[in-house]
Amino acid sequence: MTDATERMPPAGEIVLSLRKVCKQFGAVSALTDVDLDVHAGEVVALVGDNGAGKSTLVKVLAGVHTPTSGTVTFGGRQVTLNGPNDALSLGIATVFQDLALCENLDVVANIYLGEELGPFALDEVAMEVRTWQLLGELSARIPSVREPIASLSGGQRQTVAIARALLRDPKLIMLDEPTAALGVAQTAEVLNLIERVRDKGLGVIMISHNMEDVRAVADRIVVLRLGRNNGIFYPDSSNEELVSAITGASDNAVSRRHERRHVQRPNSGGGTS
């Protein structure tokens, strides 16, 4: 194919790589031998049907669940994530689907929640300045950082949640359904935001059910099905391929062959470089 060179892994080095990660809840295998690589400056979309294991995978990376087996390598070192704080201190930030913002607090308070400067005499000025900087880096348009979150729109709240994730200077940011429940304009804003985060050189993992959004920003699309890798696709893959990989509706020789070809491509590309 003509675009083989374009399919090389992005210039950035590998931030995160999972090898043969399994997670079992009793008799249920939520994840089986899952492999995943994320490079710096790359947006990886994680797609799959309900129950495919996306959220479990995110929770494993966020330190909420510990994997039953398999290795997680982050920044070249093999790591174990025993709790949310392990993940945070390594530089893995997560923006959860429900954003987890306190509506009664203002933007500054939310961004610095749990990280306040000056525990016995809050340094409001320094926190406000840094907040404006973070929002500026994201070219975010928040009218006032001293208004409670309740007065912001869905897209603005997503912005605040992402800015909050960026506060600790993470190397990898995971977004769970960042565009669910957003309007057209807000969705576009959030997608722009994701691109800006990528351009800052961060690795981005994005979970979404919306194929349009996925195609719009993702550099690679990793499909999970029933807790297993079910192919790696690119934004220009046809919808049919993608949907059949997600649903398994055409789980036959043709789709498997397709899948093999796509999986092999990045490896061969990496070999030539």
CB of 162 to another protein, least distance (A): 15
Tokens encoding 190: 């959030």
Q: Is 261 helix (H, G, I), strand (E, B) or coil?
A: helix
CB of 259 to another protein, least distance (A): 36
- Closer to another protein by Cβ: residue 11 or 126: 126
Residues listed for the chain: 273
User: Please, which residues have CB within 8 angstroms of residue 13's CB and are 6 or more apart in sequence?
Assistant: 39, 40, 76
Given a contact cutoff of 8 angstroms between Cβ atoms, the answer to whether 91 and 172 are in contact is yes
Given a contact cutoff of 8 angstroms between Cβ atoms, the answer to whether 225 and 250 are in contact is no
- Side chain identity, residue 170: P
CB of 122 to another protein, least distance (A): 5
Nearest C-alpha neighbor of 21 from the set 9, 33, 37: 33
CB of 216 to another protein, least distance (A): 26
CB of 98 to another protein, least distance (A): 8
Report the C-alpha gap between 146 and 128 in whole angstroms: 9
Report the C-alpha gap between 216 and 218 in whole angstroms: 6
Binding site for another protein (CB under 8 A): 84-85, 88, 96, 98-105, 109, 113-116, 118-122, 125-126, 128-129, 132, 141-152
Nearest C-alpha neighbor of 21 from the set 71, 79, 74, 82: 71
CB of 96 to another protein, least distance (A): 7
CB of 104 to another protein, least distance (A): 4
- Closer to another protein by Cβ: residue 176 or 213: 176
User: Please, which residues have CB within 8 angstroms of residue 217's CB and are 6 or more apart in sequence?
Assistant: 43, 45, 191, 194, 195, 198, 206
- Closer to another protein by Cβ: residue 85 or 252: 85
CB of 83 to another protein, least distance (A): 10
- Closer to another protein by Cβ: residue 18 or 93: 93
- Closer to another protein by Cβ: residue 83 or 201: 83
- Closer to another protein by Cβ: residue 159 or 230: 159
Beta bridge partners of 228: 225
- Closer to another protein by Cβ: residue 103 or 240: 103
Report the C-alpha gap between 247 and 243 in whole angstroms: 6
Given a contact cutoff of 8 angstroms between Cβ atoms, the answer to whether 221 and 43 are in contact is no
- Closer to another protein by Cβ: residue 146 or 257: 146
